[in-house]
């Protein structure tokens, strides 16, 4: 019996069976060093993003353990670091807020269930190879959504910087709530928050040069610089503990349970699934798009490749792992993945080693963060998410395409004004709308022969030869239900002229698809031209399109011929 097909199928669904065969000591060292650096970065981020999601801090740690092991088994990216991220955390907060829950246990259960539903969606999409659906999301629209989300996240964290109560899921709500609460701000909290924010901004560019000037080797300086957020956490926590600032209005994380991630079960209540499904779907879409774009960018730098459909399974199993280990929805994070890549991660095992580091932190370090100020975690989030804000996108879109500019602007304004779920829903609809709009009005160029060649170009752009009785139209788009009548109307308008036309050639060199609606329009066009004593021809029809046309009656009923090349049609019809 040939076992190779079974082994290949297993390797497709479990990439670990492939790369682990070549794992050696040097690879282990590279992965371990990368894991150490990412662990240092991920501990404060995990705590901060859990609070951003409106969840207990320990859930951020739990979401950074078992999901990383799952991705190491099922993921294809060598550098992608999976875990809680800012945008998904914000979307989780919005989804749970819609439920109106107040009990901490119910909120945690809802978060786990949200992760489980998202995991099931992603895994099913991966098994059925539906990764191509993400291509329907316009990149400028997604970038606009992420920019708006970054602003929302940063604004939502200002309440921790000032030490006041504020709420809201839209920018007007957040800012209004902040203004109403400013009178009760905490001086010590503000000092800690502003100092931590300023320090973290400085660490990004100023810490490493300072360390190098002090004589540290570049590799060590890089490692210490990445530990900047941990240093901010340690110093501010020590400061609060020494001076008992929690007694003076400084809000702290408080008790964080030590120990292994708990084994949990998501809810299977039909009502809860119904309420969370749309949110889970949106989280899945945004998480996958963000994750796969990061993974592809990093893979390209080392001439590696990822498999988007398998990435769906990797992210899906990671979310299921989060759901059964006390976590909440996760995806591949941009900043930590870049750090993972720069630190030399060679295989997905780096993620598993990172999970071990986070597990040790959950077991041993949680008592030390009782006095960790929430203002410091807010500063960590603000510094991280402001790097996502890119208003230069608006300038580029305005200069390149007014339609894209309008789409990006609408996405940003809707996200800021109505919340992330409305924003991402609008982004999806706008992306699909842009695609339908652009393809519903395909570019059609009338072409003529470039003198001395066999090439045909647009008569309005080049000096070409034309024949009065012959019109050649190059169709620059596949034909389907949304644009079929556009071509029919375009040709009908073109042939209504004072010149005695006898032949029309449709040049199909750029047509990859003709669906049934388009076929019916071609049939109607053929009859319409026949009544006008004009013969319809096709040229340069691609093989797959020709195969489908042969399965219909169109070619038999067409008044003209199908020519292999446009030059053949020209030579036969010019008279």
User: Quick check: is 439 in a domain?
Assistant: no
Q: Which of 333, 317, 366, 312 is nearest to 66 (CA)?
A: 317
Q: How far apart are CA 419 and CA 244, in angstroms?
A: 38
Pair (27, 137) in one structural domain? yes
Q: How far apart are CA 223 and CA 200, in angstroms?
A: 15
Q: Which of 281, 259, 226 is nearest to 65 (CA)?
A: 259
Q: How far apart are CA 141 and CA 405, in angstroms?
A: 9
Does residue 317 contact residue 116 with C-beta atoms inside 8 Å? no
Q: Where are the alpha helices (DSSP H) in 471-574?
A: 484-495, 516-531, 543-550, 554-557, 566-573
**How many C-beta neighbours within 10 Å does residue 575 have?**
9
> Which pLDDT score is estimated for 520?
95
Which residue reads 């809707």 in tokens? 414
* End position of a domain, from candidates 433, 459, 480: 433
Q: How far apart are CA 68 and CA 81, in angstroms?
A: 8
* End position of a domain, from candidates 399, 433, 467: 433
Reply yes or no on whether the pLDDT at 2 is more than 70: no
Owning domain of residue 540: 444-573
pLDDT digits (tens, 9 = 90+) for 108-162: 999 999 999 999 999 999 999 988 877 767 778 888 888 999 999 999 999 999 9
Tokens of 370: 């009782």
Proportion of the chain in helix, strand, coil states, percent, rounded to 5: 65, 5, 30
> Which pLDDT score is estimated for 8?
64
For residue 5, the surrounding DSSP H or E stretch is helix 4-13
Pair (295, 426) in one structural domain? yes
Reply yes or no on whether the pLDDT at 1 is more than 50: no
Pair (453, 411) in one structural domain? no
Q: CA of 18: how far to CAs of 7, 80, 89, 341, 347, in Å?
A: 10, 17, 33, 20, 11
User: Quick check: is 468 in a domain?
Assistant: yes
Q: Determine the 3-state secondary structure of 467 from DSSP.
A: strand
Q: CA of 76: how far to CAs of 13, 138, 502, in Å?
A: 10, 24, 58
For residue 446, the surrounding DSSP H or E stretch is strand 444-449
Pair (455, 540) in one structural domain? yes
User: Quick check: is 71 in a domain?
Assistant: yes
Q: Average of pLDDT values for 400-409?
A: 86
Q: Taking every pair of C-alpha atoms in the chain, what is the biggest distance, in angstroms?
A: 98
User: Quick check: is 438 in a domain?
Assistant: no
User: Quick check: is 34 in a domain?
Assistant: yes
Lowest-pLDDT choice from 30-44, 267-281, 355-369, 422-436: 422-436
Which residue reads 């292994």 in tokens? 260
Reply yes or no on whether the pLDDT at 445 is more than 70: yes
Q: How far apart are CA 380 and CA 331, in angstroms?
A: 19
Q: Average of pLDDT values for 307-318?
A: 94
Reply yes or no on whether the pLDDT at 43 is more than 90: no
Pair (498, 380) in one structural domain? no
CATH number for position 495:
3.30.750.24
Lowest-pLDDT choice from 50-64, 155-169, 489-503, 545-559: 489-503
pLDDT band at residue 5, thresholds of 50, 70 and 90?
low
Q: How far apart are CA 449 and CA 142, in angstroms?
A: 42
Does residue 469 contact residue 575 with C-beta atoms inside 8 Å? yes
Q: How far apart are CA 91 and CA 112, in angstroms?
A: 14
Reply yes or no on whether the pLDDT at 22 is more than 90: no
Pair (414, 471) in one structural domain? no
Pair (303, 356) in one structural domain? yes
* End position of a domain, from candidates 405, 433, 461: 433
User: Quick check: is 529 in a domain?
Assistant: yes
Pair (477, 381) in one structural domain? no
Please, what is the average pLDDT of the chain? 90
Q: What is the CA radius of gyration of the chain?
A: 29
Q: How does 137-174 read in b/e, with b if 16+ C-beta sit within 10 Å?
A: bbebbbbbbbbbbbbbbbbbbbbbbbbbebebbbbebb
Quote the distance between the C-alpha of residue 362 and its chain's center. 29
For residue 465, the surrounding DSSP H or E stretch is none
DSSP characters for 54-115? TS-HHHHHHTTTHHHHHHHHH---SS--EE--HHHHHHHHHHHHTTT---HHHHHHHHHHHH
Lowest-pLDDT choice from 10-19, 242-251, 521-530: 10-19
Q: Determine the 3-state secondary structure of 257 from DSSP.
A: coil
Q: What are phi and psi of 380, to 5 degrees?
A: -60, -45
Reply yes or no on whether the pLDDT at 3 is more than 70: no
Pair (321, 177) in one structural domain? yes
Query: Which has the higher per-residue pLDDT, 10 or 26?
Result: 26
> Which pLDDT score is estimated for 84?
94
Does residue 329 contact residue 115 with C-beta atoms inside 8 Å? yes
Which residue reads 């120990």 in tokens? 259
Percent of the chain with pLDDT over 70: 98
> Which pLDDT score is estimated for 303?
76
Q: What secondary structure letter does DSSP report for 325?
A: T
DSSP characters for 150-194? HHHHHHHTHHHHHT-----SSHHHHHHHHHHHGGG--HHHHHHHH
Tokens of 316: 């899906």
Pair (123, 167) in one structural domain? yes
Tokens of 339: 């750090």
> Which pLDDT score is estimated for 4?
53
Q: What secondary structure letter does DSSP report for 464?
A: -
Total number of domains constituting the chain: 2
Q: How far apart are CA 343 and CA 322, in angstroms?
A: 25
Q: Which residues pair with 538 in a beta bridge?
A: 506, 562
Q: Which of 2, 61, 57, 47 is nearest to 355 (CA)?
A: 61
Pair (205, 320) in one structural domain? yes
Does residue 314 contact residue 74 with C-beta atoms inside 8 Å? yes
User: Quick check: is 520 in a domain?
Assistant: yes
Pair (57, 129) in one structural domain? yes
């Amino acid at each position: 019996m040939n076992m190779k097909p079974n082994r290949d199928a297993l390797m497709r669904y479990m990439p670990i069976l492939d790369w682990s065969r070549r794992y050696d000591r040097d690879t282990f060292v590279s992965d371990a060093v990368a894991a150490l650096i990412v662990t240092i970065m991920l501990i404060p981020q995990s705590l901060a993003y859990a609070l951003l999601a409106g969840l207990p801090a320990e859930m951020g740690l739990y979401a950074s353990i078992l999901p990383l092991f799952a991705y190491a088994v099922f993921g294809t990216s060598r550098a992608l670091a999976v875990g809680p991220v800012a945008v998904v955390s914000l979307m989780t907060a919005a989804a749970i807020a819609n439920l109106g829950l107040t009990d901490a246990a119910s909120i945690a259960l809802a978060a786990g269930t949200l992760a489980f539903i998202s995991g099931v969606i992603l895994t099913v999409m991966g098994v059925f190879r539906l990764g191509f659906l993400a291509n329907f999301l316009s990149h400028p629209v997604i970038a606009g959504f992420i920019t708006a989300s970054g602003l929302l996240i940063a604004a939502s964290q200002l309440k921790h910087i000032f030490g006041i109560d504020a709420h809201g899921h839209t920018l007007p709500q957040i800012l209004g709530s902040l203004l109403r609460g400013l009178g009760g701000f905490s001086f010590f909290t503000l000092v800690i928050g502003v100092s931590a924010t300023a320090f973290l901004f400085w660490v990004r560019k100023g810490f490493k040069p300072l360390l190098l000037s002090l004589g540290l080797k570049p590799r060590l300086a890089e490692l210490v610089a990445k530990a900047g957020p941990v240093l901010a956490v340690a110093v501010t926590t020590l400061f609060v503990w020494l001076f008992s600032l929690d007694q003076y209005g400084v809000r702290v994380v408080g008790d964080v349970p030590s120990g292994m991630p708990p084994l949990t079960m998501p809810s299977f209540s039909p009502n809860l699934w119904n309420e969370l499904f749309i949110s889970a779907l949106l989280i899945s879409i945004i998480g996958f798009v963000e994750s796969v774009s990061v993974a592809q960018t990093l893979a390209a730098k080392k001439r590696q490749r990822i498999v988007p459909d398998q990435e769906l399974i990797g992210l899906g199993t990671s979310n299921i792992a989060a759901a059964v280990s006390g976590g909440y929805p996760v995806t591949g994070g941009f900043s930590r993945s870049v750090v993972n890549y720069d630190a030399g991660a060679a295989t997905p095992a780096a993620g598993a080693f990172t999970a071990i580091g986070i597990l040790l932190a959950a077991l041993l370090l949680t008592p030390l963060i009782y006095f960790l100020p929430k203002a410091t975690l807010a500063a960590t989030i603000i510094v991280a998410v402001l790097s996502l804000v890119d208003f230069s996108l608006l300038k580029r879109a305005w200069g390149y395409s007014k339609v894209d500019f309008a789409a990006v602007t609408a996405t940003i304004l809707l996200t800021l004004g109505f919340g992330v779920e409305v924003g991402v829903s609008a982004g999806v609809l706008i992306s699909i709308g842009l695609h339908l709009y652009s393809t519903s009005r395909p570019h059609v160029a009338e072409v003529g022969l470039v003198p001395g060649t066999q090439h045909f170009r647009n008569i309005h752009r080049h000096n070409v030869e034309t024949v009065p009785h012959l019109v050649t139209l190059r169709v620059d788009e596949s034909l389907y239900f949304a644009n079929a009548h556009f071509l029919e109307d375009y040709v009908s308008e073109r042939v209504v002229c004072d010149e005695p036309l006898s032949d029309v050639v449709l040049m199909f060199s750029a047509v990859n698809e003709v669906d049934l609606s388009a076929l019916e329009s071609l049939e109607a066009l053929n009859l319409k031209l026949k009544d006008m004593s004009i013969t319809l021809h096709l040229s340069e029809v691609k093989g797959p399109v020709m195969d489908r046309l042969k399965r219909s009656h169109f070619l038999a009923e067409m008044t003209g011929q199908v020519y292999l090349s446009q030059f053949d049609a020209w030579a036969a019809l010019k008279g």
